[in-house]
């Protein structure tokens, strides 16, 4: 299992340096920067302190879509809920969720947005689940590097922590087929990919157990068959 941390358009080089230091401290070394070159500035090294190797090996991508292309599970971090019906998990629940999916995920990406505005709605659509850091204050005050540190700490003990007893997850290939089948079916009955219903259903598929995934795939196959029969009759 490989966990990568992705910073989308960071504007402050010191934040990238501090994030690299946090990852090194917690045992991670995969850092990606999207549409930014601030990590190349001298200021980034000021707070890196021993994590220069991570700075020098940062992967640069033009878009978030490119950055998460090989990820099996994409976790979008948000300071507040963007969509009322979306599932938001506190950061401390992520180890249990990832442990549940251990047999089906190999590459995991944790995505952090811009210092001032976070992730856009379009970028959030590339994420499978959303997560936030519970805070007592009414106004989110954590900066980018602090947020990276908290997530790195939570995930650093992933292998050593007991996971909750959860239903067996579908295999990675089975989940991919489920996503494809459900997406094609929803589109076939008129749900736009940008609609709340479409996105909500696709989100909930990520929580399906192996047996549930099999049942949903059977229903999708039957509905697709009925839709094809209906279309054939209409063309006669």
Side-by-side strand order, sheet with 88-90: 59-61, 31-34, 2-8, 107-112, 73-77, 129-132, 88-90
User: What is the distance between the alpha carbons of residues 38 and 144, in angstroms, rounded to a whole number?
Assistant: 14
User: What is the distance between the alpha carbons of residues 113 and 12, in angstroms, rounded to a whole number?
Assistant: 12
What does the pLDDT read at residue 161? 47
What does the pLDDT read at residue 172? 75
3-class DSSP state for residue 110? strand
User: What is the distance between the alpha carbons of residues 24 and 35, in angstroms, rounded to a whole number?
Assistant: 23
List Cα–Cα distances, 106 to 50, 68, 73, 228, in angstroms. Answer: 28, 13, 8, 36
What does the pLDDT read at residue 140? 59
User: What is the distance between the alpha carbons of residues 71 and 87, in angstroms, rounded to a whole number?
Assistant: 19
What does the pLDDT read at residue 197? 81
208: left (phi over 0), alpha (psi -120 to 50) or beta: beta
What does the pLDDT read at residue 77? 93
Contacts of 94 (CB under 8 A, 6+ apart): 75, 131, 151, 154, 155
What does the pLDDT read at residue 144? 92
pLDDT in tens, the chain (236 residues): 889 999 999 999 999 999 999 999 999 999 999 999 999 998 988 888 888 899 889 999 999 999 999 998 999 998 766 554 457 889 999 998 888 777 778 899 999 999 888 899 899 889 988 999 988 765 656 889 999 999 999 999 775 444 444 456 777 788 888 888 888 888 888 888 888 788 878 877 877 777 788 888 888 888 888 878 777 776 65
Contacts of 52 (CB under 8 A, 6+ apart): 20, 45
CB 220 within 8 A of CB 182: yes
b/e sequence 181-211, b meaning 16+ C-beta within 10 Å: bbbebbeeeebeeeeeebbebbbebbbbebe
């Amino acid at each position: 299992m490989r966990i990568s941390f992705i910073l989308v358009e960071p504007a402050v080089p010191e934040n990238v340096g501090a994030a690299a230091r946090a990852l090194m401290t917690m045992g991670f070394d995969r850092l990606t920067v999207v549409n930014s070159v601030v990590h190349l500035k001298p200021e980034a090294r000021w707070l890196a302190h021993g994590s220069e190797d991570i700075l020098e090996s940062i992967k640069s991508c033009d878009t978030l879509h490119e950055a998460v292309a090989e990820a099996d599970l994409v976790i979008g971090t948000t300071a507040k809920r963007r969509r009322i019906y979306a599932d938001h998990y506190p950061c401390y629940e992520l180890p249990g969720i990832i442990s549940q999916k251990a047999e089906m995920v190999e590459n995991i990406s944790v995505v952090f947005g811009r210092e001032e505005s976070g992730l856009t709605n379009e970028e959030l659509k590339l994420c499978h689940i959303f997560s936030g850091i519970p805070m007592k204050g009414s106004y989110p005050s954590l900066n980018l590097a602090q947020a990276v540190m908290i997530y790195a700490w939570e995930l650093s003990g992933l292998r050593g922590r007991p996971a909750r007893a959860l239903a067996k997850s579908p295999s990675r290939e089975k989940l991919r087929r489920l996503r494809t089948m459900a997406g094609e079916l929803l589109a076939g009955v008129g749900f736009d990919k940008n609609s709340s219903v479409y996105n909500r259903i696709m989100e909930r598929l990520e929580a399906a157990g192996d047996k549930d995934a099999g049942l949903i795939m059977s229903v999708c196959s039957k509905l697709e068959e009925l839709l094809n029969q209906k279309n054939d009759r209409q063309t006669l």
